[in-house]
Structure 1
Amino acid sequence: MSDPRVAEHMPLLTFEWDEAAVAKFIATKEACWSRDGLGHWAILQDNQYVGWGGFQKEGDEWDYGLVLKPNSFGHGVRISKKAFEFAVADERIPYVTFLLPPSRKNLGALKRLGAEFVGEISYDGSTFLKYQLKTK
């Protein structure tokens, strides 16, 4: 998360990514699992860490996020396909939302999946483009 190529598309990452930030981040993500029974996963390829992502409950909605290490950027579609297969099989998830910063210009994959643009929203002081994909 400290790599500038990753941080470029993460407007909420306005702090130094140090050991304290990592500990707080992990505690927050683990709390999602405890509270909701679902959260983000560490993503491995050939037993090597390539990033993190998955579903996090935001109010009544399940938001999907994916953050990959720069040398794994090309794997997002394949990883996301597996995650969406999980969402389709999980009765708790009638649809998935995506909050993308306006800096993300290549949104063709979302459109090909059938995600619909909901609108611009403000989240924690930053603007995001909100999309929704039905899973049921």
Structure 2
Amino acid sequence: MGWVMKGSSTKHGQWEGDCNLVNLLTFAAVVSTHSCSKAGRSDNIQQPTISTRIWQLENATGLTLFQKVGKSEMHLTDDGRAYIERALNLLDQAMNEIEDARQKLQLARNNSVQQQKDHNIGKIDDPQ
């Protein structure tokens, strides 16, 4: 099953503005901790914010990702199990893109500094 960006529909709906990296990271955190409360603790994010992000992601994808078990434990649904792999791949791609952009910017900055140095070689500062 493929997922596409906003504007291209799938049988599960469309990606909307609420299907973003923050919500995907939140989803991954809830998956790893099985709890909205625990997922927010490491980043000092309150449980209602985590719950809202999960709701937004479910709304944007048209999927029910979790089934609540007991008072606070969250278990993945079948759709959630299928979607976590896609979410982790998307997060990995995003991190790779960010690192690639950072490296390109650093290279451009280094080239610019070197060009400036090359341009200034042989110039004598006029003391006046």
Q: Please, what TM-score do these two structures have when normalized by structure 1? A: 0.27
The structure with more strand, counted as a fraction of residues: 1
Give the structure with higher Rg (CA): 2
Q: Please, what TM-score do these two structures have when normalized by structure 2? A: 0.28
